[in-house]
Amino acid sequence: MSENKPDLKLQDLGESKIIELIEQIIFEKTGEQIKIDDAFFIDLNIQKESPHTQIVLNTDMLISTFDAPPQMSSYQIGYKSIVMNVSDLLVKGITPIAVIISLGLPNSLLIKKFRDIIEGIAEACKFFDMSYIGGDLNEIEKEIIINPTVIGFVQKEAIIFRKGMKVGDVLCVNGNFGLTGVGFNILLNQIGNETNPKYKKAIDSVLNPTVQAIEGKLLAENNLATSSIDSSDGLAKSLKDLSIANENLGFEVDFHQIPVNEVVKDYSENYNVPLHKLLFNGGEEFVHIFTINPKNLDKAIKLIADNKGSLIPIGRVIAENEIFIIKDNEREILQEFGYEHFLTTRKK
């Protein structure tokens, strides 16, 4: 039976053949053979002088009906499932080295789409220099579920935890906000034309998400950050989560210092969508957020710039359990915190 027939579905292959196909695609894309066993083994190669090395795991499930706009290709779905997991390790200064993936797939899924998903996963693994070391495969009713568990190793003292920021620390980010807010608004809510070349960058930020890797690693290695979080849930909710992790602390954010692409400003004006909603509630941007002792700020900015990264101050840590936005000399409490599973109805 040829696996390249356009109408062939997973139910035409069966589990054993599907697993063989995964192994084949991973080998074609990465040159690595998946070791087949009842459990997965990694050689730590930890030296005796590094007794505090930590095994770090992260898992973030991708569910196609919630995390993949209809315009997203199967390849892009696979690639995104890795990006969204890797980002959570990179922001802590941890280099991911391997991934285990559990897949829930309908038996009616076309083999071509399945192959594209695995190729997207494999290409992302190759880009981040990670090994795909296996996983689990199960049949489900309709949607596609991809549940990676990314594995990394790091010395405990080098991890940038959520908890650790102090009053007066400078709030910094490593990228722009708002592009995905525009992209999702166009793709899901049809506010704007997705074929307009002016908004191609915004659409691309949703369909082909990326993450900058260098900042967390450098800040961690040089002990320059006091806390960190990634903005996959949106800037507003990420700041809230960071505040919750640090009791009785909050932020003052200078609205005019938040890095924003001109495309976002243009869209906000043309479609009468408040700019603050695009910046704070966009989500899935995978921008990294850090707090840094003001004494170390200049050193951190220079170190990051010398390594072609980005570190942009946008506010400071305060001794109040609130998030304030400073805009046009006015100080207002941030009220909206974006999408939250089980509480928010997302348009699709």
**DSSP string over 203-257:** HHHHHS-----HHHHHHHHTT--SEEEE-TT-HHHHHHHHHHHSTT-EEEEEGGG
Whether 342 is covered by a domain: the verdict is no
Query: Same domain for 145 and 28?
Result: yes
Q: Please, are residues 54 and 156 in contact by the beta-carbon 8 Å criterion?
A: yes
The Cα 167–Cα 241 span in angstroms is 16
Burial class (CB in 10 A: 0-12, 13-18, 19+), 313: middle
Residues 6+ apart with CB under 8 A from 128: 82, 86, 96, 213
Is residue 41 assigned to a domain? yes
Q: Structure tokens of 115? A: 């192959």
Averaged confidence pLDDT in the chain: 87
Distances (CA, A) of 86 to 13, 154, 266: 31, 14, 31
Confidence band for 345, pLDDT divided at 50, 70 and 90: very low
Q: Which residue has the higher pLDDT, 253 or 10?
A: 253
> Where among 102, 129, 157 does a domain terminate?
157
Whole domain around residue 116: which residue ranges?
10-157
- What pLDDT score was predicted for residue 46? 47
For residues 120 and 57, state if they share a domain. Answer: yes
For every residue of 281-312, DSSP letters joined together read H------EEEEE-GGGHHHHHHHHHHTT---E
Give the pLDDT band (50/70/90) at residue 19.
confident
- The model's pTM is 0.87
Which of 134, 157, 180 is a domain's end point? 157
Q: Are residues 129 and 175 in the same domain?
A: no
Give the pLDDT confidence of 230-283 residue by residue, as tens digits.
998 899 999 999 999 999 999 999 999 999 999 999 999 999 999 999 999 988
Domain presence at residue 307: yes
Does residue 180 sit in the same domain as residue 150?
no
